Amino acid sequence: MARLPTVGVIPAAGLGTRLAPLGYPKELLPIVYRGGEGGRVPQPVVIASLEQLRRAGVVDCVVVIAEWKLELVRVLGERAAEVALCYVVRSVPRGLADALDATFAWVRDRDVCLVLPDTLVAPDDALARVKADLDASRADLVLGVFPTDHPEQLGPVRIADDGRVLEVLDKPARTEVRNTWGMAAWSPRFTALLHEAVGAQPEVVLGAVFDRAVKTGLHVRAISFAEGRFVDVGTPAGLAAALIQP
């Protein structure tokens, strides 16, 4: 049986409390710059996620939004010519895992590529390389992993020499692992595991579900971008770092 096309997922239903009182969706922060007739033109940060999907050859995407973020529909509709979008509205935000599970009915039989709408990632083809590894290895889950100086604020990943994931942490108080996952691609087997985990505990942390996949014997791999860059602009420090990027 032929595999169905991969679908992208962009979870954008969060409250953005770490940047309060911002007053509008953090995904629309104009900090991505692209060439235009008058020089470099600012674009919303979420456009970087769309470009990662496009470079990975993903042409269908489900965007999870909150009711108060309908402006995202207009902005994305104007800029997503090469990626077909549909939207799922999550009225009560319960975290990233729950937002992803909201797409279950649409993605359950397809491979999925996850990109975060409030992050800047380098290299530009990172997701394409993560997806290529998923396709080649037939893994259940592949994480894109980036260096960070602040693993205690993010999701460090222990990786074996052959690329197998040994453990996924979530905001550990202490760790010698100086990286974080920043994107992912997975098969329907992981989608089913995520659905089960959220059904049992709606506010389960996504990193904990990634780790459960490892512990339950799913084939979990990581692609490390040792010279890469991951900036979470949903935090004051991350936003400042993004604004002063070279």
Give me the pLDDT at residue 38, please.
56
Q: For residue range 52-73, list pLDDT tens digits in order.
A: 999 999 999 999 998 888 888 8
> N- to C-terminal Cα distance for the chain?
47
For 16-55, what is each residue's pLDDT tens digit? 555 455 556 777 777 766 665 555 677 888 888 999 999 9
Q: What is the DSSP letter of 40?
A: E
3-state secondary structure (DSSP) of residue 42: strand
Q: Give the DSSP letter of residue 68.
A: G
Whole-number pLDDT of residue 70: 86
Looking at residues 134-140, what average pLDDT do you find? 97
Instruction: Name the fold adopted by 7-243.
Output: Spore Coat Polysaccharide Biosynthesis Protein SpsA; Chain A (3.90.550)
Name the H helices within the chain. 46-55, 71-79, 96-101, 104-107, 126-137, 188-200, 206-215, 236-243
How high is the pLDDT of residue 81?
Answer: 67
CA distance 216 to 172: 21
pLDDT in tens, 110-132: 999 999 998 889 999 999 999 99
Residue of higher predicted confidence among 161 and 44: 161
The 3-state DSSP class for residue 202 equals coil
pLDDT for 59 equals 92
User: Residue 111's Cα: distance from chain center in Å?
Assistant: 14
CA distance 103 to 100: 6
Listed by start position, the domains of the chain span 7-243
> What's the whole-number mean pLDDT along residues 125-151?
97
State the sign of the Cα–Cα–Cα–Cα dihedral 141, 232, 123, 7: positive
Q: What is the mean pLDDT of the chain?
A: 88
* pLDDT, greater one: 54 or 242: 54
Assess whether pLDDT exceeds 60 at residue 211.
Answer: yes
Q: Which of 62-71, 186-195, 214-223 has the weakest average pLDDT? A: 62-71
